Structure 1
Amino acid sequence: MAIINVILHEVTRDNDGDLVKTNLRGEANSTEGLGVKLTEQLIELFSQSTLNIGEFGVDGDTTLEPAFEQQLKKFYHSDEFSFVQMTQAMAMRFAEIISDRKLQTVKGGILAFYIYEYRKNLVFAVTVLNRIDGINANDDSLNLSPANIIDLNRLHLGAAVNLTNWEGGLDSRYIKFKTGRSVEMRDYFESFIGCQRDKQAATRETSSLKHAIKKHSSELDLDSDETQVKLDNAYNFIQGQQKDGKEVLLSHIANAVFPDSATDFLSIARNDEYQLSENIAISTAELKRYVRLTGRGKGMSISFDNELLGKTINYHNGKLIFDEIPESLKQSILDIQNQNAGNVPV
């Protein structure tokens, strides 16, 4: 991992309703001063599995090029248009957006633009960083004094464009972004980037991963219980990655769930039926369908696949209704009924 170019511009307003102030650098920041830890922090901001994904577009039309993409293309295809000029234009566009009368409470922040290498891909990223209060110690006297420092521990607003995939037209999931919790923040930042959110990607990919695991389990001649163990392993592994703030990678899942046949599983997961890429978007709701619903009490033990609820199994007014039951259970019930019927005195 290495950062190739980096530059900071500041676009802020002090108080609600104030005019937006800009402080644009005329030259790139030195990458030598970043250090290993800071470099890793900037890159890891976009390694989470909970980020949104999408592609460039305008009002849902991906054939139109937003201003952000136009600046990227100009930088890519013009020898006279520099990294500094590109980011200055983008920063000014950001200033124009938050100057809108409907966005007078948006404070802005420090815009960090940088290009880095990650897993043999080039990525262009922009993050909106905020200053936080801290304490510093003087180098000579070690006296403590208040300091205003940049918060690099949390990603508030940011987007990373996989330039390799975008320029090569390799897929339509080349933007990772985080837009904050409020609708206002989401809308203005997505407008700045010009990204169209793939709202169904996480659900689709989490479901496809589950079916790929079932498919490979079937090829290994695993029974339903053994297959469920594989799904449980995948569920636990993914949850662990999310808890640690790490991205969910297909190859890592393959090694965790099928350590003895990871390569064969990857061939299935990446084929035309499932079309899973290395980075998988995870839907929390869909992930819950990996585990069985279970319950025990009052002489009963019930367990069934989550995905059967609402299909062949329904819950209504406190009652669990089975439209289908396993043939072995059905036969056992019939045997008991026949046995009891035979014991009825004449």
Structure 2
Amino acid sequence: MPILHSVIHKIDKKPDGTPAALHLAAAEQVDSSARDDLMQQLNESYNATAGKGWGLFHAESGAFPLSGWLGKYLAGGFDFFNFSVIAASHLTKLMEESNLTTGGHALFCHYQQGLTDYLTIALVQETEAIAMTEDLHLKAVKRLDLDRIRLAARINISEWKNNPQSKQYISFLKGKQGRKLNDYFRDFIGCQEGIDGPGETRTLLKAFSDFVDSEDIVEEAAREKASTLVNYSMAQAKMGEPIALEELSGLIDEDRPKNFYDFIKAKDYGLSETLPPDKKTLNKFRRFTGRAEGLSISFEAHLLGGKIEFDEAGGTLTLRGLPTQLTEQLKRAGA
């Protein structure tokens, strides 16, 4: 994860009505193991945080100027430090106008991961920690609280530049701190939501269930393929990377690597070539299975309470929306 540029400014904003004050860094963060460790921890914390939105820039305007400044920096119009100063000044202005009490350290980092360029912008709070001095005395120190990041966004610069039609080159945290706080930071980034991560993940899982039914895959093989799907998707989420349909298809069926991908395209589920994984949705996706006296039942957990109802007292399952193939067999058997 080579870091190209990194700057940290500080914004003081207290709840007593005092105007927000921006304290600018003197220069970029120097190349050091401390800087690299900080960004590694921030990246890991960001990837692990549930509840993200995915989107794209609004058209550049006076209300949403960040994309223009970023484009000018990338084109060599000014250096990264000046870009961060202009952006931090705008963030401070928005913070003051929104009358929000949350200041913090405004962190800007341009880095590479593989062949992809990213820009991470985060507002990081301070917290107290206990440190040991050289003469073995305890003392309270302040540290950046990377475990609880509330306001942050990551821009896939390469995707933005190379695929301008994309609707998911920006990810941002959608925390529980309140809509007003989320909206002001998203306005600062100039981002509009472009893709529904949980909805896309649910559609992918529905497509997989339909695929398993259409292929008449045996129970054990279906469980293995479901596990492959979830493990791959969770790994992508951990790295902050999207699910790639072609890659996933190859993992699900190595003998016919395009089989699942072609099924999705033929059925027109409306899925993008890549989609953001939603960990909460994936965690709910597991199969309930059972077999006894000639009866074999297997279904995804997300169907429970919808197409499938369980009566615990009576020990019965009620099924709705039976597969057409099964319905036709039952009709012929009852004729």
TM > 0.5 fold call: yes
CA contact (8 A) 1:209 1:276 kept: no
Deviation (angstroms), 1:4: 0.8
1:344 aligned partner: none
CA contact (8 A) 1:210 1:231 kept: no
Post-superposition Cα deviations, 1:79-105, rounded to whole Å, max 9, x if no partner, equal 3412111111111111111112x524x
CA 1:80/1:307 → structure 2, altered by over 3 Å: closer, same or farther? closer
Alignment partner of 1:200 out of 196, 199, 205: 196
Give the whole-Å Cα distance in 1 for the aligned partners of 2:265 and 2:319: 37
CA 1:123/1:261 → structure 2, altered by over 3 Å: closer, same or farther? farther
CA 1:270/1:173 → structure 2, altered by over 3 Å: closer, same or farther? farther
Correspondence list, 1:19-98, <5 A = 19-34=19-34, 36-48=36-48, 50=50, 51-57=52-58, 62=59, 66-77=64-75, 79-98=76-95
1:162 aligned partner: 156
CA 1:103/1:295 → structure 2, altered by over 3 Å: closer, same or farther? farther
CA 1:246/1:11 → structure 2, altered by over 3 Å: closer, same or farther? same
Deviation (angstroms), 1:235: 6.1
Q: Does 1:175 align with 2:170?
A: yes
CA 1:122/1:228 → structure 2, altered by over 3 Å: closer, same or farther? same
Q: Does 1:137 align with 2:132?
A: yes
Give the whole-Å Cα distance in 1 for the aligned partners of 2:147 and 2:24: 24
CA 1:202/1:285 → structure 2, altered by over 3 Å: closer, same or farther? closer
* Greater displacement, 260-269 / 127-136: 260-269
Task: State the SS of the aligned residue for 1:47.
Answer: helix
Post-superposition Cα deviations, 1:279-311, rounded to whole Å, max 9, x if no partner, equal 6332745774x54567899xx986555677798
Task: State the SS of the aligned residue for 2:278.
Answer: coil
1:320 aligned partner: 318
CA contact (8 A) 1:254 1:262 kept: no
Deviation (angstroms), 1:118: 1.1
Q: Does 1:124 align with 2:124?
A: no
CA 1:188/1:296 → structure 2, altered by over 3 Å: closer, same or farther? farther
CA 1:187/1:45 → structure 2, altered by over 3 Å: closer, same or farther? same
Give the whole-Å Cα distance in 2 for the aligned partners of 1:309 and 1:69: 44
CA 1:37/1:12 → structure 2, altered by over 3 Å: closer, same or farther? same
Identity of aligned residues (%): 19
CA contact (8 A) 2:155 2:169 kept: yes
Structure 1 unaligned residues grouped into runs of 5+:
336-346
* Greater displacement, 177-186 / 121-130: 177-186
Count of residues in Structure 1 that have an aligned counterpart in Structure 2: 320
Considering only aligned residues, what root-mean-square deviation do their CA atoms show, in Å?
4.2
Deviation (angstroms), 1:185: 1.4
Give the whole-Å Cα distance in 1 for the aligned partners of 2:322 and 2:40: 53
Task: State the SS of the aligned residue for 1:94.
Answer: helix
